[in-house]
Structure 1
Amino acid sequence: MADRDDVCVLLPAYNESETIEPVVSGFREAGFENVLVIDGGSSDDTRELAAAAGARVVEQTVGGEGSGKGQAVREAVERHVDQPYVLLADADMTYRPEDADRMLEPLFEGRAEHVIGNRFADMRSGAMTRLNQTGNTVINWAFSVIHGRYLSDILSGYRAFTAESFRRLTLNSEGFGIETEMAVECVKHGVPTAVVPITYRPRPDESETNLRPFRDGATIIVTLYRMAKTNNPLFYFGSVGFGSIGLGVLLGAFVVYDYVVNSISHEVIAMVGGVAILLGLQLLMFGVLSDMIVTVNREQTRRLEDIANRVGTDRQSGPPAETVGSADADATADSADTEEGEGAERPEMETETETAVTTNDRQN
């Protein structure tokens, strides 16, 4: 049974000197000895304070100062995490170490490989502005529409996952889009995902947030739509196709209306409208074909993974009992033949020794 020694608490940090020390101490007091702080080139005392609190501190080697949370998480898991389980949290005191066991329980019990902490289950007063709450609601709704699954809080920074499942994901985000990418990739690869309620606290007054609502919100929406190209191509190409068809229909309606009412023809506009409709139909057809290819590919991937798991299980269980018995019998027979051969040589050796002793006695 897994325990806290099998967990690495991962804390990406950038200029978190006001909060990093109590965050590290809180997880260590909760029984987590493996606390890893990966720093994005802080200009304050974040690294020194984290090390003094008992954390292992490494600095990002890819990118420059403040190169992004996404890069920090990828680099940490790929290069510095040796434990099979990872508990990911922010270093700003918004997440409680007391919720760690609840986050890890689905992993330890084998019910999930990725766990998301739902901040909306117990959000304390002042923890999130109304603007951010609205943005989160819109993004969660968009995720469910585009990727076909509602995960309550895909932007939550409190995550628990197996290191093996994380390494199966294709992640490219540099900044706060890492949470969105992980959610999309979990759906895409069929990673069992659980959502558990957590408490979300406001940041201390002295601590400054690195989040920019409009910029980061726009980045997340673009990420959601961009990743639909490989996860839900029917939506990705279909939305553009329907938009193109709608534009073509509007242009065509205008041309017909102006011709009937005012007897004015618009050949160029009519041609543009026709091209737009044809393009939209082609995109819809391409989306349907792409969706079929993705579905078949997922099924084949699932079957290959099942075969790989079976082969791995067979290798771990060892050779069949009959084979083992046969090998033991062969080994016993070989041993017996060796003993017989040694026994046959012993009389000659004893005779030669006796002869040598007799010759020496006569000479004496």
Structure 2
Amino acid sequence: MDKIAVLIPCYNEEKTIKKVIDDTKKALPEAIIYVYNNNSSDRTAEIARAAGAVVRNEYMQGKGNVIRRMFREIEAQCYIMVDGDDTYPMESAPEMVQKVLEHNADMVVGDRLSSTYFTENKRPFHNFGNSLVRSSINKLFDCDVRDIMTGYRAFSYEFVKTFPVLSKGFEIETEMTIHAVSNNMQIENVVIEYRDRPEGSESKLNTYADGFKVIRTISRLYRDYKPLGFFSAMAVVLAFLAVFFIIPVFFEYWETGEVRRFPTLIVCGFTMIAALQSFFNGLTLQNMAINNRRVFEMQLNGLHRKKMSLITKINDGSDID
């Protein structure tokens, strides 16, 4: 088990990867640096290996797939995840590591939005999207995470080994945040100085396509982690529609004594039944979510014992299978 593992997912970052590795060595000389090459068509892997990093490959395209592979293969007390595009300062890494190893943090967020992001980033829709996602998640999940989509984070062993990676692409950061918030894990924020990509380095993000994926991910995770809130909202909408369209039918019946719009009456009745079903489905799924939380807490306890056993063996100089 490594004490500190630096994880760098890469796709065509030959212009910046050497600097990121060199900066990491200066900031965290005791860390093991892993570069995961995701089908790069340039010299990313060759340059990273020459710079002293451990280079591995993930052949399924997408950042989510790379992170799944990283988290599955690497064992460490503290993980630092950083992009290979040289937009994040490695000088902040020691503080992030300290919060994991000495302050019991499960996830440390490198907060760009509280410093230079909005002045350095030249893509206005990215700025708007980051603000929208941050406010949406903080409101829906009642938390205070200051940068939801940052690619610069630190994790505990327990977080990495319990995080179910479901996303394939850049929406993975949103998924990480909601997993930590919903499972009551300790989250810390560290303000970092963001800098835009150097000239000649191109972003892999698609503002609109990836933005829609992030919104869809938020909706899906809200349904999974907060089913009562999700299905209650659906029930309210359905009930409102049923009442709105049935009121004229009742007024007409009150005045004439006749029901002249039976199709409307029938549809409104079924819509109200759907609203009630949605609400009770939310109650059922909420109970299942609570039970899943109990299982998760037991899993966390087992992982913590495993980690402490590994650390003890390392300190004693014993062999680890």
Band the TM-score falls in, shorter-chain normalisation: 0.7 to 0.9
Match of 1:41 in 2: 39
CA distance in 2, matches of 1:186, 1:10: 19
CA distance in 2, matches of 1:189, 1:133: 28
**1:285 maps onto 2:280 in alignment:** yes
Q: Which string of whole-angstrom CA distances, capped at 9 and with x for unpartnered residues, describes residues 67-89 of structure 1?
A: 1111101101212x233211001
Match of 1:29 in 2: 26
CA RMSD of aligned residues (A): 2.9
**1:211 maps onto 2:208 in alignment:** no
**1:185 maps onto 2:179 in alignment:** yes
Unaligned runs of 5+ in 1: 318-364
Q: Which of the residues 66, 73, 87 maps onto 1:94? A: 87
Q: Structure 2 vs 1, CA of residues 156 and 261 (structure 1 numbering), >3 Å: closer, same or farther?
A: farther
CA distance in 1, matches of 2:39, 2:300: 39
Q: Identity rate of aligned residues, in percent?
A: 28
**1:270 maps onto 2:265 in alignment:** yes
How many residue pairs get aligned? The number is 308
Q: Structure 2 vs 1, CA of residues 129 and 255 (structure 1 numbering), >3 Å: closer, same or farther?
A: farther
Residues 116, 156 of structure 1: 8 Å contact kept: yes
Match of 2:114 in 1: 121
CA distance in 2, matches of 1:49, 1:218: 34
Q: Structure 2 vs 1, CA of residues 309 and 49 (structure 1 numbering), >3 Å: closer, same or farther?
A: closer
**Aligned amino acid, residue 191 of structure 2:** P
Q: Structure 2 vs 1, CA of residues 224 and 211 (structure 1 numbering), >3 Å: closer, same or farther?
A: same
Match of 1:351 in 2: none
3-state secondary structure, aligned to 1:165: helix
3-state secondary structure, aligned to 1:155: coil
Moved over 3 A (4+): 253-264, 299-314
Residues 28, 94 of structure 2: 8 Å contact kept: no
Match of 1:53 in 2: 51
CA distance in 1, matches of 2:215, 2:299: 33
Match of 2:3 in 1: 6
CA distance in 2, matches of 1:150, 1:228: 16
**Aligned amino acid, residue 208 of structure 2:** F
Q: Which of the residues 12, 15, 36 maps onto 1:15? A: 12
3-state secondary structure, aligned to 2:193: strand
CA distance in 2, matches of 1:309, 1:55: 28
Residues 121, 127 of structure 2: 8 Å contact kept: no
Residues 141, 150 of structure 1: 8 Å contact kept: no
Deviation at 1:8, TM superposition (A): 1.1
3-state secondary structure, aligned to 1:200: coil
Q: Which string of whole-angstrom CA distances, capped at 9 and with x for unpartnered residues, describes residues 28-70 of structure 1?
A: 1223341111011011111111112221111114x2xxx1111
**Aligned amino acid, residue 38 of structure 1:** Y
Residues 146, 235 of structure 1: 8 Å contact kept: no
Q: Which string of whole-angstrom CA distances, capped at 9 and with x for unpartnered residues, describes residues 166-203 of structure 1?
A: 11122211111111111111123222221121111111
Unaligned runs of 5+ in 2: 313-321
Match of 2:240 in 1: 246
**1:195 maps onto 2:189 in alignment:** yes
**Aligned amino acid, residue 253 of structure 1:** I
TM-score (norm 1): 0.76
CA distance in 2, matches of 1:244, 1:310: 48
Residues 146, 224 of structure 1: 8 Å contact kept: no
Residues 77, 163 of structure 1: 8 Å contact kept: no
Give the number of the structure with larger relative contact order, counting CA–CA contacts within 8 Å between residues 6 or more apart: 2
Match of 1:166 in 2: 160
Deviation at 1:310, TM superposition (A): 8.6
Match of 1:83 in 2: 76
3-state secondary structure, aligned to 2:230: helix
CA distance in 1, matches of 2:199, 2:303: 52
3-state secondary structure, aligned to 1:160: strand
